[in-house]
Every structure is written in structure tokens, then in C-alpha cells.
């Protein structure tokens, strides 16, 4: 039997209606934002563990005002180290409150899901258990070892707490350049696989840990600003020498309202009106996204930034869909958005202060936007 082509997915607007954060600058969006615009720095001397013998002695630590038991069941808090999970839960709770939405009916629950991008969960538990096994102290290995280390437990706890049943997905991003931005692959998943007939709110989360000696010693050996932590992270700077580790979580609620197949402009107005009618604040819209890799090296990008670049101007929707060369990250985002490089006035860069990574990204940005005066757009790595 020969089947026809599958139905084309309906183009939908995806709006951001809620935000939540647990960061070294503060617990909550308001506290974080205030300190950020005041020019304060979240990098400081590490106090959560002994840094004796480590070259790096600085990092981004969530303030002591954050307490895991305030955000997770006390019984679960006693049975496992839930610090990284509680970051996710706290940020998700704030984002949902900010969006003025909670699932009240079964229909709400089966039309919402969670997607989380994560770094490395409970590395200390892995290190401690490894030592016990090496010492053949098998009976001292905790029965909660696996639940304590799985990064998808963050998404699992958020989905269970709010009974969000569409999906609960996680991706491990590690620290490799192409995947170091934890939430962006999950945002791609959320936007790409949305069902047109569904209301769907997807919380996205990214986290990094600075708490454990193993990670700090292996990933930040080259940080040379222990005496001036606020100057350590210096993306695109001539004297940059590596990124600074940190911990925390960021969540946003993405909303894809359900509407019948109507004229595109009319449907878009309806979606905005519906979100506003229920009291949601629309922070912005996800117009496009892109993911890519340069298939070059485990940690070093191609010097010319080709993996992030590859822009081929194309104004035909049909041609864009069937181009023989798949688009890359920035190219895909621009194509889907319907915008041209000349329409962009702000670029939020990935730049992590690494000598190779920042240089490659800088070249890619200049290749894509270089024909326009630098004064017409700003680059700000966060």
C-alpha cells in the first residue's frame, strides 16, 4: 500500500509566559535581575568545600538563603542529596507562578510536559561511591545511589509534583562547546515537537555545578583570577583563559495555545489574546531555533566557526525546505524566524571565555553579520 505524505505540521507561535531562576546572584527572578542590572557579580571565593590543592578557588555559588527542604518533600530530602533537583523544582515553581498557570483538570495535565537540559547532577555522590567500591566497602553503597545521580530526576520531580503528563525529557549537555548550553537543545525539542491541537507548557531548565572538587579541578584548572573573582569570566577578552564554573537553574514556560486552522494572522492574534485573557505576561516569542555541530573535535571548534555559521540566503519557503545542504545553528534560527541578518540588533552569545571557543564564535558572528555596521547590533554573552 502506498501512502501519501504525512500532514504538514501547523506553524504555531510559541510565547514565553513565565520565568524562574535560582542563581549565584539570588534566589528568584526578581533578586537575580536586580543584582544583574546593578552590575553585581555572582562569582566569589568557593566556600562550600575545601579548595586546598586546587588551582581554581572561585565559582558561582547559590546563596545560603536557598534551602532544599523549602522546595522538596522533607522525606525525600533526607533520603537523597537533592540540591540539583531542588534547584529545578524551585525555578519551575516560580516560572509556573509567574505564568499564572497550574494544571487544574486532567485535560491540563495531559497537555503539558517538562523538558530539561542539564549538566552533571550529583558528581560528589559518584565520586564518594567510587571510593567505597575501590575500598571494597560494598555494603556502605547507598541504595539511593542511582536516584541521586540521574540527571533526568530533575525533570521527573518537576513533572510528578505538578502532574505534567505529556512528556518528561532530559538531555545531558556536559561541557563540550557544542552542547554546553544546557537548556537550548531542550528548547529546540519543545518547539519542534509541539502538537498543534494541544495546549502545551514546557518548562526548560539548565544547571551547572561548582560544588564538587572533581569538576572544579578538571574543568577550571586554568582560571587565574582567584584574587579578583569578579574579573575571572571575561568572554571575548584578550586575556581570557577559561570559563568559571557555577551552579543554579533557570526555567521558562513556553505556551503553544490550541486554535483551529484559520488564517495565519488571525490565529496569531487569537493566541496572544488567549494568553493575555488568563492573565499571562508575554515576555517574548520563540521565532526560530537552530542546532549544529562541526564534527571536528571533542572540545575544540573549527577555527573558522563554520559549525555555527553556514548562512545561505534563501527567500523561497519551498527551497528552504529542500536545500541539499542542511542549515546550521544561526542559519536555521534566522530562516525559521523569517528575519534577515539586517533585522537583528542583539546577539546573546555562548562565549565562555575559552581562547578557542570565543575566537571561533566571534568569526562565525562576523561572517554572518559582518556586512552590517558593528554599531547596529550588540553582543552579550550571559
Which secondary-structure segment (H or E) carries 368? Answer: helix 355-369
Full DSSP string of 176-187: -GGG--THHHHH
State the CB neighbour count (10 A cutoff) for residue 275. Answer: 20
- Are 368 and 330 in contact by the 8 Å Cβ rule? The answer is yes
Burial of 353 (0-12, 13-18, 19+ CB in 10 A): buried
In Å, what is the CA distance from 147 to each residue of 143, 156, 168, 322, 369? 9, 11, 16, 44, 46
Q: Of the candidates 366, 247, 252, 259, which has an alpha carbon nearest to the alpha carbon of residue 304?
A: 366
Q: Is the backbone of residue 316 left (phi > 0), alpha (psi -120 to 50) or beta?
A: beta
CA distance 375 to 327: 27
pLDDT at residue 310, rounded to an integer: 56
Among the ranges given (48-52, 248-252, 256-260, 359-363), the one the predictor scored with the smallest mean pLDDT: 256-260
Cell of residue 43, nine digits:
562569582
**Opening angle at CA 197, ends 194 and 203, nearest 5:** 40
83-107 average pLDDT score: 90
Q: What is the torsional sign of CA 200, 272, 116, 103? A: negative
Q: Rg of the chain over CA atoms, in angstroms? A: 22
Whether residue 2 has pLDDT greater than 50: yes
Tell me the pLDDT tens digit for each residue of 41-81: 999 998 888 888 888 888 899 999 998 888 877 777 666 56
Give every CB contact of residue 91 below 8 A, 6+ residues apart in sequence: 20, 21, 22, 205, 249, 250, 251
Cell of residue 316, nine digits:
523561497
Q: What is the torsional sign of CA 358, 360, 365, 366? A: positive
Q: Is the backbone of residue 120 left (phi > 0), alpha (psi -120 to 50) or beta?
A: beta
CA distance 354 to 177: 10
- Are 44 and 232 in contact by the 8 Å Cβ rule? The answer is no
Burial of 357 (0-12, 13-18, 19+ CB in 10 A): buried
What domains can be seen in the chain, in order of their start residue?
Answer: 14-286 (3.40.47.10), 289-382 (3.40.47.10)
318-342 average pLDDT score: 65
φ, ψ of residue 116 in degrees (nearest 5): -130, 130
Give every CB contact of residue 244 below 8 A, 6+ residues apart in sequence: 43, 58, 59, 60, 210, 220, 223, 229, 232, 233, 353
Q: What's the whole-number average pLDDT of the chain?
A: 75
CA distance 181 to 174: 9
Confidence tier at 325 by pLDDT (50, 70, 90): very low
Q: How many CA atoms lie within 13 A of 4 on its CB side?
A: 2
Whether residue 381 has pLDDT greater than 90: no
- Are 88 and 158 in contact by the 8 Å Cβ rule? The answer is yes
Tell me the pLDDT tens digit for each residue of 233-253: 888 888 888 888 888 999 999
- Are 91 and 20 in contact by the 8 Å Cβ rule? The answer is yes
Q: Of the candidates 363, 243, 348, which has an alpha carbon nearest to the alpha carbon of residue 301?
A: 363
Instruction: Specify the 3-state DSSP secondary structure of 12.
Output: coil
Tell me the pLDDT tens digit for each residue of 194-237: 443 334 444 444 454 545 566 666 555 555 788 888 888 888 88
Amino acid at each position: 500500500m502506498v501512502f501519501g505524505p504525512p500532514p504538514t505540521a501547523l506553524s504555531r507561535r510559541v510565547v514565553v509566559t513565565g520565568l524562574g531562576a535560582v542563581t549565584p546572584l539570588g534566589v528568584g527572578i526578581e533578586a537575580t535581575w536586580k543584582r544583574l542590572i546593578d552590575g553585581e557579580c555572582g562569582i566569589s571565593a568557593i566556600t562550600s568545600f575545601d579548595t586546598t590543592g586546587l588551582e581554581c578557588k572561585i565559582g558561582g555559588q547559590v546563596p545560603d538563603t536557598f534551602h532544599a527542604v523549602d522546595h522538596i518533600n522533607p522525606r525525600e530530602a533526607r533520603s537523597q542529596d537533592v540540591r540539583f533537583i531542588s534547584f529545578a523544582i524551585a525555578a519551575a515553581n516560580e516560572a509556573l507562578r509567574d505564568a499564572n498557570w497550574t494544571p487544574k483538570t486532567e485535560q491540563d495535565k495531559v497537555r503539558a510536559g517538562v523538558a530539561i537540559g542539564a549538566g552533571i547532577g550529583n558528581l560528589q555522590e559518584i565520586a564518594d561511591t567510587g571510593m567505597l567500591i575501590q575500598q571494597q566497602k560494598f555494603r556502605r553503597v547507598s541504595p539511593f545511589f542511582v536516584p541521586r545521580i540521574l540527571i533526568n530526576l530533575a525533570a521527573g520531580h518537576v513533572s510528578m509534583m505538578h502532574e505534567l503528563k505529556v512528556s518528561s525529557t532530559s538531555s545531558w549537555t556536559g561541557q563540550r562547546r557544542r552542547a554546553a548550553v544546557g537548556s537550548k537543545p531542550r528548547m529546540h525539542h519543545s518547539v519542534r515537537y509541539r502538537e498543534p491541537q494541544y495546549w502545551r507548557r514546557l518548562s526548560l531548565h539548565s544547571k551547572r555545578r561548582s560544588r564538587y572538587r572533581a569538576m572544579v579541578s578538571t574543568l577550571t584548572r586554568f582560571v587565574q583570577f582567584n584574587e579578583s573573582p569578579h574579573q575571572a569570566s571575561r568572554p571575548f577578552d584578550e586575556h581570557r583563559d577559561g570559563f568559571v564554573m557555577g551552579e543554579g537553574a533557570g526555567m521558562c514556560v513556553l505556551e503553544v495555545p490550541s486554535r483551529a486552522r484559520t488564517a495565519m494572522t488571525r490565529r496569531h492574534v487569537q493566541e496572544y489574546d488567549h494568553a493575555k485573557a488568563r492573565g499571562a505576561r508575554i515576555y517574548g516569542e520563540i521565532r526560530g531555533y537552530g542546532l549544529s555541530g562541526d564534527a571536528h573535535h571533542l572540545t575544540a571548534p573549527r577555527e573558522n566557526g563554520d559549525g555555527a555559521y553556514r548562512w545561505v540566503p534563501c527567500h523561497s519557503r519551498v527551497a528552504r525546505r529542500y536545500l541539499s545542504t542542511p542549515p546550521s545553528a544561526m542559519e536555521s534560527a534566522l530562516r525559521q524566524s523569517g528575519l534577515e541578518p539586517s533585522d537583528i540588533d542583539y546577539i546573546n552569545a555562548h562565549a565562555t571565555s575559552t581562547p578557542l571557543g570565543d575566537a571561533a564564535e566571534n568569526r562565525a558572528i562576523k561572517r554572518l553579520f559582518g556586512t552590517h555596521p558593528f554599531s547596529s547590533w550588540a553582543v552579550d554573552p550571559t
